[in-house]
Structure 1
Amino acid sequence: MTATIPASEHPGRVEGTLMQVDHPELRGKVAVVTGAGRGMGARFSAALARRGVHVVGADIDESLMGEAASAITREHEGVDGAGDVVATGVDVRDREAQQRVAELARDRFGRLDLWINNAGVFPEAPAIEVPVSQMQATLSINVEGVLYGAQAAASVMEPGGSIINMASVAAVRVRRGRSAYCSSKAAVAHLTECLAVELGDLGVRVNAIAPGFVDTEMTRWVQDDPQALAKALDSIPLHRLGSPEEIVGPMLFLASDSARYVTGHILAVDGGSRHV
């Protein structure tokens, strides 16, 4: 896996080009990506479609998802063998809604090979002030949403299927003011291991990616604060933020046959920050 990543003038940031990696065995496969209307979900969908994977992108904002799917389709107009991208709405807290997404993928494309549980929220509040509503919503979206997605995927997948959950370095590192988020991602990490054991009986692999500070909308709060950015960079052995493309590469690996004997693994993509 190689990538050319030129330096940016912004301290601690890189501008990631498309990963120069291909997994030919992915072509013709079918994926569902939740939270695909923006951010990493949209980037995952684009990367998969570029490599010939048909994608059902699902987001709670169906209009936004439609715009993202159209943008990806336009982006790949000149790409030979690019996969289709279909947009649909979903509230990941709704188990039946997730089941309908899985059935849409199967009915539209005849199969389901990959499911990425990407949808999530990133709330903030001091630990002693976290309201009941915030905690309930965070656990419902970030944890129950992963479980319901995995259940839906497993009900449709044949042996060889792969489920990828989005955990976080926050599962093992404390982020002040993010206790609801950190605890939910710790739950996602352990849930991934539980699902890997039980879904292994069906021949389905379950893994998770645990990003650190990545240059996305979710880290805008630290990038816009010079002091916070300096502190964050000091906690990362590579002394820079990750680029979204540096999360795409590990996703493609976990989705591919290169990882066909990998399950129950939490793959940290954090520049080493979990060790500091």
Structure 2
Amino acid sequence: MTSPAEPTGPGRVLNAPMTAVHPELRGKAAVVTGAARGMGARFAAALAARGVGVVGADIEADAMAVTAKEINAGLAGTDAPGRVVAARVDVTRAEEHEAVARKALEEFGRLDFWVNNAGIFPFAPVEEISPEQVGATLAVNVEGVLFGAQAAARHMKEGGAIVNMSSVSAVRVRRGRGAYCTSKAAVAHLTESLAVELGDRGIRVNAIAPGFIDTEMTRWVQDDPEALRHALDTVPLHRLGSPEEVVGPLLFLLSDSARYVTGHSIAVDGGSRHV
């Protein structure tokens, strides 16, 4: 039965915060790319609230600085020792990932977690996909993940964890998203490759594969009633997910609760991959 406090109707989103604490995260350090807004900002805030020192990195440096300031202001007066430090990164440039990793070491003296969240979501019918779109999508969504993992692995010790952002689109075709779907399928397979090779060093690598989550990236669905209806028809839970519902799996994958979990993509999609 639906609680009176829960939202109802098409497109409803459950935004209740996750109650998972994971005290073992306290005092550790993380990098989150694409952290200026959307899920990346939520990830940074959730980690900092649990005592993690976070370098939030984004190509939009000014927006990242504002987000870091807002998160830190929200933590003022709490007992959480975590904080967010802003950095700029162009994820298509390997050397900039290295600079972000070194910033984490300078600020926090360690690097335990790396979240490859930055990505782009281009649209074009298949006959209109340009070489430029393919190149940009693979550069950000795939090379950006690889370069981030490389930088993380160079500085992490045994017990480190990397989480990549894949998508339900890695296993489901979405019209007009050929370049995007291809890139996310590549991320899913790259995650497995990284898990195998970095496992020798005790570093775990997993991915999260969101479905329709209430972020700016899916605003086009919510602004089109017909598109929203069609989208919800493919989701067994018949609602959009919230960024908070992606935070929970992220915390799990970084925590000791997942210390024997590597090489997996966890779908956070309301079951849509099965429809």
- TM-score, normalized by length of structure 1? 0.97
Query: What's the counterpart of residue 77 of structure 1?
Result: 76
Correspondence 1:181 to 2:173: no
State how 1:182-197 maps to structure 2 within 5 Å: 182-197=181-196
Residue 44 of structure 1: how far off its partner (Å): 0.1
Query: Retained in 2: the 8 A contact 1:58–1:65?
Result: yes
Q: Deviations over 1:210-263 (max 9, x none)?
A: 000011111100001000000000000000011110000000000100000000
Residue equivalent to 2:164: 165
Is 1:250 equivalent to 2:249 in the alignment?
Answer: yes
CA distance in 1, matches of 2:159, 2:210: 25
Percent of residue pairs identical? 67
Task: Check the 8 A contact 1:5/1:14 in 2, yes or no.
Answer: no
How big is each residue's C-alpha offset from its partner over 1:64-100, in whole Å with a ceiling of 9 and x where there is no partner? 1000000001111132123011001000000001011
Q: Trace 1:118-157 onto structure 2 (pairs within 5 A).
A: 118-157=117-156
Query: In structure 2, what is the equivalent of residue 90 of structure 1?
Result: 89
1:204 aligns with 2:203: yes
Q: What is the deviation of 1:108?
A: 1.6
The CA deviation string for residues 178-236 of structure 1, in whole angstroms up to 9 with x for no partner, is 00000000000000000000000111000000000011111100001000000000000
| Deviation of 1:7 (Å) | 2.5
Residues 1:99 and 2:102 are matched in the alignment: no
Residue 239 (structure 1) aligns with: 238
Is the Cα contact below 8 Å between 2:30 and 2:112 reproduced in 1? yes
Q: Counterpart in 1 of 2:43?
A: 44
Q: Could you tell me which residue of structure 2 aligns to residue 264 of structure 1?
A: 263
Output aligned runs, 1:215-230, within 5 Å: 215-230=214-229
Q: Is the 8 A contact 2:161 2:204 kept in 1?
A: yes
> Secondary structure of the residue that 1:103 maps to in structure 2?
helix
Structure 1: runs of 5 or more not aligned = none
User: In the aligned structure 2, how far is the partner of 1:164 from the partner of 1:146?
Assistant: 9
C-alpha distance in structure 2 between counterparts of 1:252 and 1:108, whole Å: 22
1:138-159 superposed Cα distances (whole Å, 9 cap, x missing partner): 0000000000000000000000
Secondary structure (helix, strand or coil) at the match of 1:145 reads helix
1:23-62 equivalences under 5 Å are 23-62=22-61
Aligned residues: 273
- What CA distance in whole angstroms lies between the structure 2 residues aligned with 1:6 and 1:242? 17
Partner residue of 2:273?
Answer: 274
Mapping of residues 2-41 of structure 1, within 5 Å: 6-9=5-8, 11-41=10-40
SS at match of 1:74: helix
Aligned residue number for residue 115 of structure 1: 114
CA–CA distance in structure 1, aligned partners of residues 116 and 124 of structure 2: 24
Structure 2: tracts of 5 or more residues without a match: none
Amino acid at match of 1:92: V
Residue identity matched to 1:71: E
Whichever residue aligns with residue 217 of structure 2, its letter is M
Task: Give distance in 1, aligned partners of 2:247 and 2:14.
Answer: 14
CA–CA separation in structure 2 for the residues paired with 1:6 and 1:137: 43
Q: Cα 1:10–1:87, aligned 2, differ >3 Å: closer, same or farther?
A: farther
Q: Distance in 2 between matches of 1:76 and 1:143?
A: 33
Name the CA shift for 1:129/1:177 in 2 (closer, same or farther; >3 Å): same
Are residues 238 and 165 of structure 1, via their aligned partners in 2, closer, same or farther at CA, if it must alter by over 3 Å?
A: same
| CA contact 1:41–1:118 (8 Å) conserved in 2 | yes
